[in-house]
Structure 1
Amino acid sequence: MSVESDAGVFTYLLDNLGVKDVQFEELLTLEPESLASLYPVYGVIFLFKYPTDTPYTSTDKPLDGDFDRDAAEHLFFAAQTIQNACGTQALLSVLMNKEGEIDIGEKLREFKEFTMVLPPEFRGEALSNSELIRDVHNSFAKSSPFVDETQRSGGEPEDAFHFVAYAPVDGKLYELDGLQPAPISHGACAPEDFPARVMEVLQRRIARYDLSEIRFNLMAMVRDLRIRAREIGDAEMLAREERKRRDWQFENALRRHNFVGFAGAVLKGVTESKLREGDGAYAKWIEEATARTSHRIDTKKKGGGGDDVEMEG
């Protein structure tokens, strides 16, 4: 099960991991100024379509930057060994490397101390065996009550998406991707230069895709914006951020519930009601619904709209 790419989901992942005074904020532009305005910024998480037409991993040289094979000795980097957990792992890749700047909580500090003496592949195994991390991930993981038809033989394969983390650590900009054999260095990078430097890297990455591919998502790990609002005395900003937290809490509560049974019961009740009416009421209801659907499709085509584009986040 994968975690939904949503700032509210990732913020509450942080909260449930015991992290204090940190949140995620979604970015709608690759302009460095938009990221710099959120200072302090600890790192970003980037979601993209996993390429299937070209090799993704390499043991020699990545498509951009250079492997820093010694970096894992002093920064937290774990090989991805858990399927569909790349979102949580990307979050931890930023978080664990910002201890000192961020209060990561006692349990994560203990986990980091235990795993830093291990090689990256065993750190990945330790992630899968951590009860705290597993339970928090599963509490926000997307699941579906339906059979995945795309996995049946003869069907179109479902698009796969992947999360990677970028963070300034020890004076360098690192790309932390558990599917790669080592951290990827993108050169020298002071914390104040991070917004401009990481946007350059992301722009090059996106440029490798076809122009029609727009399914990307970018989130920044930043200090809780409510703290800034209180520090500068901005009551309007504070009210906006408090309202955002309430909205996130409500949306996350909905995500944890499966409404398929409820929807099925409603549909069954409506259908039985139409059948009891007699005089062809059920057939007329179906005919009217089909006509309305056809009308919406025709209107959409005339208006120049195509099929809806799937967006993550």
Structure 2
Amino acid sequence: MSGGWNTIESDAGVFTYLIEKLGVRDVQFEELMTLEPEELRRLGKIYGVIFLFKYPTGETRSDTPKDGSFDHDAANNLFFAAQTIQNACGTQALLSVLLNKDGEVDIGKELREFKEFTGEFPPEFRGETLSNSDVIREVHNSFARSSPFIDETQRTATEDDDVYHFIAYTSINNKLYELDGLQPAPISHGDCTAEQFPDKVIPVLQRRIGRYPATEIRFNLLACVQDLRIRAREIGDMEALEEQEDKRNAWLWENALRRHNFVGFVGELMKGVVKAKLAQGGGAYDKWVEEAKGKTKKRMEDRKKQGIASDGID
């Protein structure tokens, strides 16, 4: 990977198995479909949420946040790292939740040693240390979608690009904090116990989304919660347990697919199809090509009739 960080998706299966590979135990992520406190509460023990949104690339830093207030003292009293590299913000956001829940969550040997090593660092040095962690970077990159066409490590965003950013919200020391590595300090949103978290965080998220045009719908919210299989076993809900096991198997399959690109496979498949047509004789091959052209032409005519613009391919 040439030492770079690749883009990962905001996906519950990706995040769940990413932290498991880092050594975290009994934690998973769940995608939230509504901004309702009850949807959060039904997930049981909640450690925090990860919010993905379109980042306004032309926005400049301010001495005061648009919501809440900077808590500069907290920057040194809890785990808060400045974001120093592109594409790492997804993993940085989930670590912002988990490393502040050490003791409540088994974060594993690697992350505990990382937290202890960076404990006395200022946020900038923590961010640099995170960016240079071979272990965390390699795990992060193992969940990036494979692409034979784009070298994600070399790409930098411009103001014309759609840039997305991950941030974390969690309750620490009975306060609701917004942890965004692009900000100079954690942002406090007031008093908040772990039990109050669903009711306190939802209005903050609603206000943030409200700053965007009504047409902007590209948001994603993942809850960081205790492994839902634990509660299912505790209450003897075998149906829920089976549902969670099936979901994890599906996540494993999807993550396996992410690690592979199928361009070579498709290329070989097309070669085989063409070879088979040629073996049937030149006439069969020419007929096949003409049939394909005819179908393409018909699709374009149908699209025009429906008022759909063509893609410019003749």
Query: What TM-score does the superposition give when structure 2 sets the normalisation length?
Result: 0.88
* Distance of aligned partners of 1:74 and 1:238 in 2 relative to their CA distance in 1, 3 Å threshold: same
The counterpart of 2:171, out of the listed 161, 168, 172, is: 168
The counterpart of 1:258, out of the listed 238, 257, 261, is: 261
Q: Output the amino acid matched with 1:39.
A: G
Q: Output the amino acid matched with 2:59.
A: P
The counterpart of 1:70, out of the listed 73, 76, 84, is: 73
Q: Output the amino acid matched with 1:278.
A: G
Q: Output the amino acid matched with 2:239.
A: E
Match of 1:245 in 2: 248
Contact 2:146 2:259 in 1 (8 A): no
1:185 CA displacement = 0.7
Separation (CA, whole Å) in 2 of partners of 1:284 and 1:77: 62
Contact 2:93 2:166 in 1 (8 A): yes
Say whether residues 1:57 and 2:61 are aligned partners. yes
The counterpart of 1:15, out of the listed 12, 20, 34, is: 20
Structure 2 residues without counterparts, runs of 5 or longer: 1-5
Separation (CA, whole Å) in 1 of partners of 2:109 and 2:247: 27
Contact 2:146 2:260 in 1 (8 A): no
Separation (CA, whole Å) in 2 of partners of 1:4 and 1:205: 21
The counterpart of 2:90, out of the listed 84, 87, 90, is: 87
SS in 1 for 2:29: strand
Instruction: Describe how 1:1-313 pairs up with structure 2 within 5 A.
Output: 1-52=6-57, 54-55=58-59, 57-58=61-62, 60-147=63-150, 157-274=160-277, 277-279=281-283, 280-291=286-297, 293-294=299-300, 297=303, 301=306
1:193 CA displacement = 1.1
Residue deviations 1:161-219 (CA, integer Å, cap 9, x gap): 11000000011111101111111111111111111111101111111111111111000
1:287 CA displacement = 1.4
Q: Output the amino acid matched with 2:23.
A: G
* Distance of aligned partners of 1:75 and 1:270 in 2 relative to their CA distance in 1, 3 Å threshold: same
Residue deviations 1:5-28 (CA, integer Å, cap 9, x gap): 110000001110100100000000
Q: Output the amino acid matched with 1:139.
A: S
Q: Output the amino acid matched with 2:138.
A: D
1:111 CA displacement = 0.9
Separation (CA, whole Å) in 2 of partners of 1:203 and 1:271: 54
SS in 2 for 1:132: helix
* Distance of aligned partners of 1:181 and 1:87 in 2 relative to their CA distance in 1, 3 Å threshold: same
Structure 1 residues without counterparts, runs of 5 or longer: 308-313
1:227 CA displacement = 0.3
Contact 2:27 2:227 in 1 (8 A): yes
Contact 2:146 2:258 in 1 (8 A): no
* Distance of aligned partners of 1:239 and 1:295 in 2 relative to their CA distance in 1, 3 Å threshold: farther
SS in 1 for 2:83: coil
* Distance of aligned partners of 1:222 and 1:291 in 2 relative to their CA distance in 1, 3 Å threshold: same
Separation (CA, whole Å) in 2 of partners of 1:34 and 1:19: 24
Contact 1:275 1:281 in 2 (8 A): no
Separation (CA, whole Å) in 1 of partners of 2:115 and 2:27: 18
1:79 CA displacement = 0.5
Contact 2:179 2:187 in 1 (8 A): yes
Q: Output the amino acid matched with 1:32.
A: P
Match of 1:311 in 2: none
